[in-house]
Structure 1
């Protein structure tokens, strides 16, 4: 699963027993050599879909990590691309991989911007927000978008009950709940708490009109439905 340049089992264990911020500071130098980095096979279809909706002037990568999603913003934004994350270690790596972007260290629940962005994207970060924090998160995104600006992110279809992926995510989330019940500080990361129905409802309450665009490059499920969609929420 990991390359020889990736983190060792001991390093992953130390990260998992740390806070979210400190854990990612520790993992940052080797993060791009793990399966946790959003793959180019996902980023490219998102960039093509947004290219058809844009162009946009300025874009923000929310919880940018090591900067994988900033390449998407560079493709679809004509003026500037900004990455925000609360891990100093991840931002340091991002600056090296995407030096043309700007970076701000901040909490996604307290964004230090006014309504200056036309596009906000995010990749793979929503598991770090418990469902009760989603209204707060979406309100922050709405606040930093200009009217008519868009919040876009890919969302995979849920794993079929009984499939390998279903049991893997169920087991991971169960292990994290046990870990957080027994150990402090908590490490919030769950795979099954970001459900489309709940997300659409909370985005609507935050002031967004929500549309779904299939990402056909990522394939179809046996019933013909897409394996992943791009959620495009437009600020009213």
Structure 2
């Protein structure tokens, strides 16, 4: 799962015993050589699905890490792309990446739970970051995204179908989450990363409570499960347009 350029077992242990921010600062130089980076096929599928929903002017990559998702935004946004993350180390690596052709790209260090922006974006995306937020934090997180979108803007992110209990992947993720809960019960500072805490039904309900209208579409590149349901979906949550005769704040 790790390339030879990836972190050693010792480095991973040090990172796992750090805070989330410090752990990613340490991991940043080798992050793109780990399985934690969003695979290119996911990024390409999302870009393909977003293209007919545009055009978009200004995009925000929420919890951008080393900048993999900003390439998606660069394909579908015409004016500007902003990446935001709270790890200075990850942002340093992102800024070193060759900029793709297209809009201007800026990286900003900030906490996704307290975004330093007004309603200046038409599209917000996020890839692989939601495991770092506890379920009780989702209302505040989604409220922040809603606040930085212009009326009619979209919040989009991919979700993968959870593995079946009969598959090795199910038990691997269950075991990982169990180990992290024990670690956080015994060690401070906590490292919040839970793969099974981001449940689609609860997420859709919280998005609706935050004021979004939500649509789901299959990402056909990943095929279907045995019951015919898609293996991967794109969630597109829209901020509503203000009613006629009202002034948007």
User: TM-score under structure 2 normalisation?
Assistant: 0.94
Using the alignment, how far apart are the partners of 1:18 and 1:65 within structure 2? 17
- Give the aligned partner of residue 176 of structure 2: 172
In structure 2, distance between residues paired with 1:101 and 1:90: 15
User: Higher Cα Rg: structure 1 or 2?
Assistant: 2
Secondary structure at the residue paired with 2:117? Answer: coil
Match of 1:8 in 2: 8
Which digits, 9 at most, give the CA deviation of each residue in 1:42-93, with x for residues without a partner?
A: 0001000000111100000000000000000000000000000000000000
Question: Which shows bigger deviation, 180-189 or 92-101?
Answer: 92-101
Look up the match of 2:224. Answer: 220
Q: 2: distance between equivalents of 1:2 and 1:142?
A: 36
The aligned counterpart of 1:196 is 200
In the TM superposition, residue 4 of structure 1 has moved relative to its aligned partner by 1.0
CA distance in 2 between partners of 1:225 and 1:52 (Å): 23
5+ residue gaps, structure 1: none
- Equivalent pairs counted in the alignment come to 236
3-state DSSP of counterpart to 2:154: strand
C-alpha separation between the residues in 2 aligned to 1:160 and 1:46? 24
Asked whether the equivalents of residues 95 and 101 of structure 1 are also in contact (C-alpha less than 8 Å), the reply is: no
Moved over 6 A (4+): none
Q: Does 1:83 align with 2:83?
A: yes
Gaps of 5+ in 2: 241-249
2 CA distance for matches of 1:146 and 1:98? Answer: 29
Deviations 1:151-176 (A, max 9, x none): 00000011112211110100000000
- Contact 1:156 1:227 survives alignment (8 Å): yes
User: Secondary structure of 1:101's partner?
Assistant: strand
